[in-house]
Amino acid sequence: MRVLVVEDDPELGPVITRGLRETGFAVDFATDLADADFKLAVNTYDCLVADRTLPDGDALTLVSAQRKAGSTLPVLLLTALDAVSDRVAGFEHGADDYLVKPFAFAELNARVRTLCRRSRPARLPELRVGTLELDLPRRRVRRDGVLLTLTAKEFSVLEVLMLRADEVVTRTELIERCWDEQTEPLSNVVDVLIGQLRRKLGPPELISTVRGVGYRLADPATDR
């Protein structure tokens, strides 16, 4: 899941970005409306988290413009403006949620994860491919009933592959869904992580390489 955080506070912005990344999100960061508008135009996100008061204006203008353009991107406004009228204004301009500063990071994380789920088609809480099981709410993975220990990034990549089981997923798609703009597109970060996943999932191998394109996850027992 990829999130755009817009926050001009030099201390809070990096803390939010780092915290969300540590819980498995791919996070891009902007400090003003102009940069945020550019990133929204060139990238696909599952959620926007924006401070209202920014150096070049009120984030409500950005949210309103996104809605007028037809965007359904979930938006969480993160701000010190806590009057009822401020919250009402946020919702009237198209925001989906409103969190007042100061806040507990655990609550921010939960709200962002909930909004990200809204941006995606409804799906079962558990994914299965052969003997591989992925429990989305509990973020657990089992193979042949054995609980596996995956990093947040490994879990995210595996989720994408299982949602697209039997289909080829390109390296570009994996980077766009599971990494952020700090990732160098030409690096071997995807190949390295796939190698780690293969080792942890064990035999028989579930993830095959489609040379020059990407990867495909399929049940070897039924894949002919």
Alpha helices, DSSP H, located in 69-188: 84-92, 105-118, 152-163, 171-178
Q: What's the CATH code, domain 126-217?
A: 1.10.10.10
Do the beta carbons of residue 19 and residue 88 sit within 8 Å? no
The answer to whether domain 2-118 and domain 126-217 are alike in fold is no
Q: What is the pLDDT of residue 123?
A: 54
User: Does the pTM exceed 0.85?
Assistant: no
In the predicted model, residues of the chain with pLDDT beneath 50 are none
Q: What is the pLDDT of residue 121?
A: 55
AA letter at 222: T
Question: Is domain 2-118 annotated with CATH 3.30.70.20?
Answer: no
Do the beta carbons of residue 73 and residue 45 sit within 8 Å? yes
Q: What is the pLDDT of residue 118?
A: 76
Longest CA–CA span in the chain (Å) reads 61
How do the domains of the chain map onto residue ranges?
A: 2-118, 126-217
**pLDDT tens-place string over residues 138-182:** 889 999 999 999 988 899 899 999 999 999 999 888 888 888 777
